[in-house]
Amino acid sequence: MLKELNMKQVVFIDRDGTINHDRGYIYRVNDFEFIPGVLTALQALTRAQKKNIIVTNQAGIARGLYTEEDYHHLTQHMLQELAAAHVKIEGVFHCPHHPNGSVPAYTMACLCRKPNPGMLEQGLKLVKSSAAQAVMIGDKNSDIEAGLCLNMTTYLVETGYGIEEKASTQAHYTVANLAAAVEHLLKV
């Protein structure tokens, strides 16, 4: 099974709680902080020539807590930090929707909001790959369920909400953090 995992070429990674500390709705650069070990893990994926894609629910936009522009500003900051650390990210997809939002343009049920697989499908199209070649790593069962919808191998990390969600997860693997997921994924 480990050799099969190493053959996976696309790695979908949740943002809040998996890449950075989740302290509520993160949209300001000053509030963004990588979880220890994340940069090293992402560097290892880059060296292994994996196609890394970030997928993130951003309900704060639908709830009027911040704007799309705020989200994009923070995303640019994150991507600059990752590029400076020699991490390659193929794409970043976000869902600004929520069925209980307060901003009418974003208040809806959609196919992109995890646990739906819409962002993953968009990412697979971007890199011209199939779900059989992909894994999903996240700290919430909604991340895991999105990956399972497409029959991906899934990792629940115990950072963010993972500690609370691990008792009810259907993830293939539960690991301490992104670094542990990457170490497991890259074993031959």
pLDDT digits (tens, 9 = 90+) for 36-72: 999 999 999 999 999 999 999 999 999 999 999 999 9
The pLDDT of residue 75 is 98
CATH of the domain at 170: 3.40.50.1000
Per-residue model confidence as pLDDT tens digits over 163-172: 999 999 999 9
The pLDDT of residue 6 is 66
pTM of the model: 0.96
Range of the domain at 16: 2-186
Tokens of 91: 């794409």
Active site residues: 14, 16
Angle of helix 118-127 versus helix 141-149 axis, rounded to 10: 60
The pLDDT of residue 134 is 97
**Which of 184, 154, 150, 185 minimizes the C-alpha distance to 169?**
154
Q: What are phi and psi of 100, to 5 degrees?
A: -110, 35
Percentage of the chain modeled with pLDDT above 70: 96
Q: Average pLDDT, stretch 4-9?
A: 78
Binned at pLDDT 50, 70 and 90, residue 7 comes out as confident
The label of the residue with tokens 């193929």 reads: 90
The pLDDT of residue 2 is 61
The pLDDT of residue 40 is 98
The pLDDT of residue 20 is 98
Q: Average pLDDT, stretch 127-132?
A: 96
The pLDDT of residue 1 is 59
Q: Average pLDDT, stretch 122-140?
A: 97
CA distance linking residue 159 with residue 21, whole number of Å: 8
Number of domains composing the chain: 1
Q: Rounded mean pLDDT of the chain?
A: 96
Per-residue model confidence as pLDDT tens digits over 97-121: 999 999 999 999 999 999 999 999 9
Q: Average pLDDT, stretch 179-186?
A: 96
| 174 strand-pairing partners | 156
